[in-house]
A and B are shown apart, each in its own frame.
Chain A
């Protein structure tokens, strides 16, 4: 069975995918995970998850068929507006 291994490098950090390993059962997976990802004290936490237990989300985006760029911060540029605002502020200060 294939197990996916997640590791946390330091306390407080998020767990990140470290890699995968093959093992006949969970006890072996635990031993091998310790060997591969914990032997050099490089992990504070290890998670092992059978690959079968991982549900993959198909098409992991929300269909965006209408033009709603304004919902996104990258939808429009505030560069010009900012420049105008600065000029106005400058004019007021004079």
Chain B
């Protein structure tokens, strides 16, 4: 990574990569969620995130003169700009999955609200569109957080998971938005696990995620 301030496409790629990777991780629950209704709902949220990633990649692709697919699947793992929070693999731990979901969606709502004010009209417009779906993701996350908090065992497991992931969650945002996240979640800001370095879990994820596309380079699908 360069030492200069990130360009607007760098910022866009960070968001797109977050959405793609969190969507990918959430999709790992498809077929194995705790019960059928939740399986459908969580898979749909995963698909929603990947759809948002596509929209952000497309906007970046017009700037960079490439395609959304190339940005999503043809970069090397170290070129991805996603935050470590989204890389972590939690299956079969539902409490940590919901803790990440809750932290991610809460942070994402703050980020999207900021993007809607962007001077880059296309980005502001896209953020407004994405927000209309993200509202339901956040409602789903909040409803699960409440559900887990309603039982002693659930609350303990959820709180432990949120505490563990809290430094990662802060790494999703920059500057003032971190304070807003801390206020919303009701926790003190701590040292964030910053974007830029990747966890060991990204490479296996990337390997699987890009496997089919790499099996036939240059193919038209």
Residue of B nearest to A38 (CB): B136
- Indicate the size class of the contact surface on chain A: 10 to 19
- Indicate the size class of the contact surface on chain B: 10 to 19
Stretch in A27-35, A41-49, A68-76 touching the partner: A27-35
Residue of B nearest to A28 (CB): B143
Task: Tell me how far the C-beta of A40 lies from the nearest C-beta in chain B, rounded to whole angstroms.
Answer: 11
Residues in B neighbouring A31, C-beta threshold 8 A: 41, 136, 139-140, 143
Stretch in B32-40, B58-66, B191-199, B206-214 touching the partner: B32-40
> A24 at the A/B interface (Cβ < 8 Å)?
yes
> B75 at the A/B interface (Cβ < 8 Å)?
no
> B147 at the A/B interface (Cβ < 8 Å)?
yes
> B44 at the A/B interface (Cβ < 8 Å)?
yes
A16-27: contact bitstring with B at CB < 8 Å (1 yes, 0 no)? Answer: 000001111101
> A79 at the A/B interface (Cβ < 8 Å)?
no
Contact partner of A39 (CB less than 8 A), chosen from B35, B44, B139, is: B44
Residues in A neighbouring B40, C-beta threshold 8 A: 32, 35-36
Which A residues form the contact surface with B (CB < 8 A)? 21-25, 27-28, 31-32, 34-36, 39
New A-B contacts (5) at CB < 8 Å, excluding given A22-B35, A34-B136, A35-B44: A23-B37, A32-B37, A35-B40, A36-B37, A39-B44
29 intermolecular pairs with C-beta atoms under 8 Å apart: A21-B37, A22-B35, A22-B36, A22-B37, A23-B37, A24-B147, A25-B147, A27-B143, A27-B146, A28-B37, A28-B143, A28-B147, A31-B41, A31-B136, A31-B139, A31-B140, A31-B143, A32-B37, A32-B38, A32-B40, A32-B41, A34-B136, A35-B37, A35-B40, A35-B41, A35-B44, A36-B37, A36-B40, A39-B44
